[in-house]
Amino acid sequence: MSETQGVSAQDDTAPMAANPSSAPKVRRASSGRLVRLLATVGALVFAYAAWLPWAIIVSIIGNRATLPQFIDPNSAFILGFFKIGDVVPSPFAVAAFSVLGLLLAPLLWRPADSLLGAIATHTFGLWLIFATVFVVAFGLSPLASGKTFGSAQTSGQDLFILGYSGHLALGFWVAAAALIPMWIAVIGLLIGEWRRHAFWHLPGNDEDRPRSIIQLPGASVLNLGLIIWAFGFLSAGWAAVNCTQTPLLLGSCKGIPASSALFAGLVQASGNIFVTSATDPNMLLFLDPTIAQNAIGILLGVGAAMIFVGVWLRAVTRTFCVWTTLWLVAAVALVALAYSGVGAIIAHPTRVGVSAGSWTAQGGVFITLIGLIIALIGLATLSATALLRRNVE
């Protein structure tokens, strides 16, 4: 064999030797993204379903039945329809539990051998266990059994029966269905960690890459926007009653925060929704307005804090930019909903649960929008940096 022929033979066989090793890596990466996507979608659906009606309750007083009442987990605890032993969780605890899986979802997308990703996987699994137990307990409770339950009470000399008859509603089944992809994802993630011996050798490949010159101003602008957004959305007033000050930034009256404006916007949005049965698809739009009091603030506030910390931990990757973009889209959509709530408050205050009076919009609306615009500029800079670095690598 000539020397030329030998080189040619090596050139022909080299690509064939490389293909078997590269194909499994592609399949493993694709599989990892799939299970993480299942976990993310399942957590999103569960967080939404947690504020839909899980049961329809009819109160029975004597021989008369009242109008049906929609019950979600939060109202079930508040009204005493559902209990966990002697423990009655606060509305804040219920709200935090409902969005915890969604808050952990971004951390699941960390590199496969990341210590933070491994911790998030196990924490997500523990949360999923509690969520599953809660869904099963709710489904087996007298609240949703279809049977009448209650007690006999006296009023003066009269004896009357106070009872309740409940049926499972569509929100419960949506929450139960959301558990399936999350369990598939958790099992897949844990099997992957087991194959890497992560149970007895903790992973630790949390990359600490040097910053590029353009990344530092982008990170600073993004975090500045998040700080301004946090003040405008979580603290500043969005509407005030009988306020004579000009509604410009620091000259505004304190008024009510964005959470109250969101509550009013949800009340207005659900006012024209009619539900005819426990399985009516319109029930998927019948979101409990109390989600605005704690759950949305926790979701957006903790999400902003995670972005803030992630920027300074040099975790700016394409995945990070995608999650930050999703956060910004959600924040903008909720600002629009809250602003519609401000309009509803100004037009008909008593219809959306606030006192009558001369209501006006306040500076919180403008502060929040300014913060989001600044954050968007910072994110655009970081995204360009992440894409350029990816192309170089």
Tens of pLDDT, residues 181-200: 999 999 998 887 777 654 44
Whether 289 shows a pLDDT value over 50: the answer reads yes
Q: What pLDDT sits at residue 229?
A: 96
Q: Which residue has the higher pLDDT, 380 or 7?
A: 380
Q: Cβ(322)–Cβ(244) under 8 Å?
A: no
Mean of the per-residue pLDDT values of the chain = 79
**Of 207 and 48, more confident:** 48
Can you give the pLDDT at residue 45? 97
Q: Which residue has the higher pLDDT, 355 or 64?
A: 355
- Which pLDDT belongs to residue 392? 45
pLDDT at 208 over 50: no
> Would you say residue 281 has pLDDT above 90?
no
85: exposed, middle or buried (C-beta count within 10 Å: 0-12, 13-18, 19+)?
A: exposed
Average pLDDT over residues 152-163: 50
In degrees, rounded to 5, the angle at the alpha carbon of residue 390 between the alpha carbons of residues 389 and 393 is 85
Query: Burial letters for 19-58: b for 16+ Cβ neighbours within 10 Å, e otherwise?
Result: eeeeeeeeeeeeebeebbebbbebbbbbbbbbbbbbbbbe
Above pLDDT 70, what percent of the chain?
73
Give per-residue pLDDT as tens, 236-250. Answer: 889 888 877 665 555
Mean pLDDT throughout 218-235? 92
Candidate ranges 10-14, 169-173, 282-286; pick with highest mean pLDDT:
169-173
Lowest-confidence region among 29-43, 86-100, 206-220, 356-370: 206-220
**pLDDT of amino acid 317:** 80
pLDDT for 5 beyond 50? no
More confident residue, 159 or 231: 231
Alpha carbons 62 and 69: distance in angstroms, whole number:
18
Going by pLDDT thresholds of 50, 70 and 90, the confidence category of residue 335 is very high
Instruction: With residue 165 as reference, give the H or E element that holds it.
Output: strand 158-168
Of 2-16, 111-125, 166-180, 209-223, the range with the lowest mean pLDDT is 2-16
pLDDT tens digit sequence for 316-334: 788 888 999 999 999 999 9
Tokens of 337: 């909903």
- Report, as an integer, the average pLDDT of 91-107: 95
- Domains, the chain, in order of start with CATH, read 28-206 (1.20.140), 207-393 (1.20.140)
**Interstrand relation of 55-61 and 359-361 (parallel, antiparallel or unpaired):** unpaired
> What pTM was computed for the model?
0.81
